[in-house]
Structure 1
Amino acid sequence: MTVAVAGEVGGEDNNARSEAVPKRESWSRKAEFILSCMGYAIGIGNVWRFPYLCYRNGGGAFLIPYLTMLFVCGLPLFFMEMSLGQFTSCSSLTVFKISPIFKGAGYAVVLINFYLCAYYNVIIAYTLYYMFMSFASEVPWKHCGNWWNTELCKEIGLDSGSHNSLISPSNMTKTPTHEFFHNYILEISEGIEDPGPLVWKLVLCVLLSWFIVFLCISRGVQSVGKVVYFTATFPFLMLFALLIRGVTLPGAVDGILFYITPKWEKLLDFSVWSDAAVQIFYSLGPGWGGLITMASYNKFNNNIQRDSVFVPIMNCGTSIFAGFVVFSVLGFMSHQTGIPVKDVATAGPSLAFVTYPEAIAMMPLAPLWAVLFFFMLYTLGLDSEAGEQFVQVETIIAAVLDEYPRYRKYKLLITAGSCCLLFLLSLSCVTKGGMYVLQLFDWYCANVTVPIVCFCEICIVAWIYGVGKFVRDVEFMIGKVINFYWRIAWLAFTPIALVIILGAILWSSRQVVYENYVYPDWAVAVGWMIAFSSVLFIPIYAAHILWNGKGSFSQRLKRSAIATEDYGPGDSSDFAAWKEHCASTKYYWLRSPIAFRRWLKESKPKDPEEN
């Protein structure tokens, strides 16, 4: 690990303005950036997590804490990371030239992405296999009687008099869909202590998925920008088609009413507000490095403020819309089985791979709707959420190449090597005990670590670098006065919200389980090791940089905390103009925008006809 002190970049000369290294990539069109951001923010979580949270936390009343947390925490973090990336043209590692002592947070982001990409592509592989198996005259999970079914298998239909949950501890019967997923696809073992051999059909699906990811990102943002025209728009078309199909089914209205009917008393429950905060936090994806990386490929003067409002609003709208899609179908399933909607509704993988397929099996033309549904999930998985494969893998690669820019000419080889390494890591999740490993990663990988990274970022920007200077930089970059709200949010609202979110996560931390299986203590200990293995980079790197610095401790601390001499815009002409602007402009964290407007008017070239 190489130390970066004031005036240095770290690793080697990383100056983006140097002509000795290959030029950094950029988006071909503004639309490619917007679609990539939408694909990054809008993903599987919008389909399988938000609708369940909404119904569980008060229906329509949940929108009040949800939108509150959007404006208090989500939007400020989104805008801050986007602005940092676009202003510096740096990825999630070299952007910490703004305060080198915190560069360990950049290494933490890279490691989090390694963990995330390794297990998240396995979930995507599940959707691939379901899609392949749906190309049949009848979906294979519709009936019992297959070789993978057990004596506990029971078909749920109109003759079902049970009002229990489809799968519950008190009801030992299993649906055909449940046994298809666990017994046939996963070939699941008894627990994490029994990993078993590789499940080869899943290995092949994971290999295919990683090969597709490699093809899509092989040329960096140039290829990603073309792929997202399809992967970011197709899910919207499919959600719309599924909604039309869903609302025409019997019982759909009951499901939708169950989803949106407000329960105002829930607003007095603190857990509802913490759920809203966590959902906003993870659906938008700050702290993962993807936002910084994507914005770093923008033109310097792009209006990032407008983009940073548009994408989160679209994300929230899609979440609400997806709820109508999901609950219209769950209402139909409730109507067909006689089981109440509240017992049918589930969250997470159970919704995507058990409950929703069970409902699809009851529809006319079930194979067609199954193919379309799982292909939609696959595109969402490739181009989605905090686990988004294109952007997350690109975040890892961009961090390496920005740190060592002379290796940019080998990007294709580095991309291939990264995908191969991540594929090998994915194999731990496709054994017979792989679902338990996947659940352990998902439980501990980022729940605690990402809020810590975001808290470091917000403290650097608002309190170490200074919110006044940061606002000055953003306004210089986009040529517009930004809203006063951003200053207050970065200084107070968002840091406080992050502390509350982190506290809520730790306070509500419970024993990791998968269905009825409770993880042993040693597995929980491994989970916490995974959680803290990334954030430990923050204090370790800080101690390393202070230990190897020159001068007294206070001098070393000051030099490593302030921005490096080459911090600023990546383009040499923009850098020179920014330096001149900094020298001639005063900044105040509460200053009036009048001074900036006056500077903007005076610096604007005059029309020759006015002379």
Structure 2
Amino acid sequence: MAKERETWANKIESFLVVLGYIIGLGNIWRFPYMAYKNGGGAFLIPYTVCAVAIGFPLFFMETALGQFMKRGGIGSWNIVPIMKGVGIGTFVIAVYCNIYYIVVMAWAILYFCITISHGTLPWTTCDNWWNSENCLSYNGERNESALNQVSVSNMMNGTLGNTTSVNGSAPVLSVLEFWNDFVLRKSDGFHDMGTLENWPLILSYIGGWIVCYFCTFKGTKSTGKVVYFTATFPYFVLLILLVKGATLPGAIDGVRYYLKPNITRLADPQVWVDAASQIVYSYGICFSTLITFASFNEFNSDCFKHAVKLVVSCSLTSFINGFAIFTVIGNLAYVQDLNIEDLTLSGPGLVFIAFPTALSLMPLPNLWNALFFFMIILLGIDSQFSCMEAVSTVIIDAYPRHFMKKYSRELLVGLMTVAYIIIGIPFMLEGGIYLFELFNNYAVGGISMLWLTVVEAVAIGHVYGADKFVDDIQLMIGYKVPRYFKICVMWISPLLTSSICLYYFVRYEPPKVDEYRFPPWAQAVGWMLVMSSFLCVPFFAIYKLWSAKAKTLREKFAETRRPIYSSHILELRNNEKSLNETEKIRLETDSELQSFIPDAHYDHGVITENGIKENGDFSHEKMYPVVECITDNGNPV
């Protein structure tokens, strides 16, 4: 028997699992950093515009596509076969994300374990084996000794203004030495990748993968239960940090900077580029995951209202989290007697340097640090096992017959976990941070995702047809979605995103880590990673046209854009028709099928032309189902 697709136990599970996926580290470090970088409250204007014009339409489009087709990130693109390369490209990005994203979780696990196992936090002192003679502890007191000159801007660069140590060298903060010399054991660049001697980080890395395995090995049965905790507990921690942050000296200055818009920044195109990339990144578009999770929904679930609630929750979480972050930023500026705009904060630096520093200044520093890093771990787990689920679902959908056996899924996820652990080992080297930034800026960077958002909008809006897709959605939810969705998918989203991609190419600058700029060969490798997902679209389209049986190019295009539906869609459409005659036939081969209905498509044993539906068991070998051929006035459709 063909195994029915598993579904979420209830609507709460389906909501929480996607909420846990989209509420991630992008909400914790990337949104506040973008707001800080782009004029505080002024950033909220382009962010909102991009959320309405790009974020929600594409989020809902992927959700509706997965729910309608009941397939994973690649199989769902059978809706327009010539564009199936979009699904392959997003699958490639999901694989890259699985490889590198776990590293952030490993860092957080290491910090958390040290926080709960040490009485005195080691990044606050200078008497550890990794500290140099230039180490300077950071106690957060104003106007005392050399700390008058300390700035977070210089701290991120490893120096402390004009202060000097006893040997004439610039002092380095203890928290920075802990990050660089204990957590990362950072080398000087790609030319010095180092050795596997960082066992605390390696064990944290393996531990993170073990947790992810047990979150995904049972599919929806395990994932759906885990999210009740992993998707909700971070909100509890965030509320605690928000309340505590509001009581810190200087917190009001941080909030004022966050909310007071610098309108002049809106004239800078980079602000809009940052807003669009933040929306795509935080909404989890183009990772295959939204399509995968939606494929486990009931076919008639109201995915439109579901999507509205999710994107509003994601954006509100980012906005509220901004208050928690900026109260801490305001405190950092206060204890150093600096203006907020003089601070220099970035992603990993904000989470693993600035935040531990600020939290260590509070009473009960171990408690606040433990809560914070536990929250980071939970956010990382949700995002990581979501991408794992996306990849495993694609494989299971491709070979469903092989995964009907007991424990077959558990074995697949186990093999994937072992493979990822081995592939990710280079990230644990002393030069691993450079490899991490290579993936962060290229393989899973904004340009990779923005390019695919353009193509998937064109695929649904123009190749398949926006009107047809809106009708498909109505078949599921029972009502037509607002016209604004169709306009955005057809025109606004692809045009706006294309403009952003063009601006990115014109203003491209090589990435760097601190003062180390990536060498040309590393940039070349990065662009190869970008192109590995880029080129899936044109290469697969060329392959489909080449292999099509039609003779002229126009006929080939018509053939390859014809949807390949699964049986559940055909049955629903057949039920809507008034049938004059039903003739049952047994089709033994593809050629016999083609001779009977030349335009029919066959999808893994399911006849996929309108009017044909499955009526029996089938396998992926030469054993085909009994089908019903629907005829109008006695003539085959």
Fold match by TM threshold 0.5: yes
From 98, 102, 106, the equivalent of 2:87 is 106
1:91 pairs with 2:72: yes
Instruction: Confirm or deny: 8 A CA contact 1:167 1:175 kept in the other structure.
Output: no
Question: Who is 2:149 aligned against?
Answer: 162
Equivalent position amino acid for 1:50 in 2: F
**Alignment RMSD (CA, Å):** 1.7
1:21 pairs with 2:2: yes
Equivalent position amino acid for 2:556 in 1: R
Equivalent position amino acid for 2:100 in 1: Y
1:453 & 1:110 partners in 2: Cα distance? 11
Question: Who is 2:559 aligned against?
Answer: 559
Displacement of 1:280 in angstroms is 0.9
Displacement of 1:408 in angstroms is 2.3
Listed as ranges, the matches of 1:105-504 within 5 Å are 105-135=86-116, 136-156=118-138, 157-158=140-141, 159=144, 160-162=147-149, 164=151, 165=153, 166-168=155-157, 171=161, 172-198=170-196, 199-383=198-382, 388-409=383-404, 410-446=408-444, 447-504=446-503
Equivalent position amino acid for 1:167 in 2: M
CA offset digits 1:92-147 (Å, max 9, x no partner):
11111111122222222222111111110011010000000001222110122322
- Matched residue of 1:141: which SS? helix
- Matched residue of 1:49: which SS? helix
Deviates more, 1:216-225 or 1:250-259: 250-259
- Matched residue of 1:24: which SS? coil
2:221 & 2:577 partners in 1: Cα distance? 31
Displacement of 1:352 in angstroms is 0.5
- Matched residue of 1:312: which SS? helix
Displacement of 1:258 in angstroms is 1.9
Question: Who is 2:513 aligned against?
Answer: 514
Displacement of 1:382 in angstroms is 1.1
Specify which structure has the bigger relative contact order, considering alpha-carbon pairs within 8 angstroms and separated by 6 or more residues: 1
* CA shift in 2, pair 1:559/1:187, >3 Å: same
Displacement of 1:325 in angstroms is 0.4
Q: TM-score, normalised by structure 2?
A: 0.85
Instruction: Confirm or deny: 8 A CA contact 1:109 1:287 kept in the other structure.
Output: yes
* CA shift in 2, pair 1:516/1:453, >3 Å: same
Deviates more, 1:149-158 or 1:300-309: 149-158
Equivalent position amino acid for 2:148 in 1: G
1:26 & 1:50 partners in 2: Cα distance? 33
* CA shift in 2, pair 1:570/1:345, >3 Å: farther
Displacement of 1:551 in angstroms is 3.0
* CA shift in 2, pair 1:508/1:285, >3 Å: farther
* CA shift in 2, pair 1:258/1:559, >3 Å: same
- Matched residue of 2:148: which SS? coil
* CA shift in 2, pair 1:579/1:77, >3 Å: farther
Instruction: Confirm or deny: 8 A CA contact 1:99 1:560 kept in the other structure.
Output: yes
More strand by share: 2
Instruction: Confirm or deny: 8 A CA contact 2:41 2:257 kept in the other structure.
Output: no
Displacement of 1:468 in angstroms is 0.9
* CA shift in 2, pair 1:578/1:131, >3 Å: farther
Displacement of 1:545 in angstroms is 2.2
Instruction: Confirm or deny: 8 A CA contact 1:163 1:339 kept in the other structure.
Output: no
Question: Who is 2:612 aligned against?
Answer: none
Instruction: Confirm or deny: 8 A CA contact 1:169 1:516 kept in the other structure.
Output: no
Gaps of 5+ in 2: 162-169, 580-637
Max radius of gyration: which structure?
Answer: 2
- Matched residue of 2:63: which SS? helix
Instruction: Confirm or deny: 8 A CA contact 2:156 2:345 kept in the other structure.
Output: no
* CA shift in 2, pair 1:372/1:578, >3 Å: farther
Instruction: Confirm or deny: 8 A CA contact 1:114 1:422 kept in the other structure.
Output: no
* Count of equivalent residues: 556
Displacement of 1:568 in angstroms is 5.3
Displacement of 1:343 in angstroms is 3.5
2:398 & 2:238 partners in 1: Cα distance? 40
Q: TM-score, normalised by structure 1?
A: 0.88
2:303 & 2:95 partners in 1: Cα distance? 28
1:65 pairs with 2:46: yes
2:207 & 2:353 partners in 1: Cα distance? 23
Deviates more, 1:503-512 or 1:141-150: 503-512
Instruction: Confirm or deny: 8 A CA contact 2:254 2:326 kept in the other structure.
Output: yes
Report sequence identity in percent: 35
CA offset digits 1:207-240 (Å, max 9, x no partner):
1111110101111011101000000001111000
Displacement of 1:501 in angstroms is 2.4
1:188 & 1:580 partners in 2: Cα distance? 70
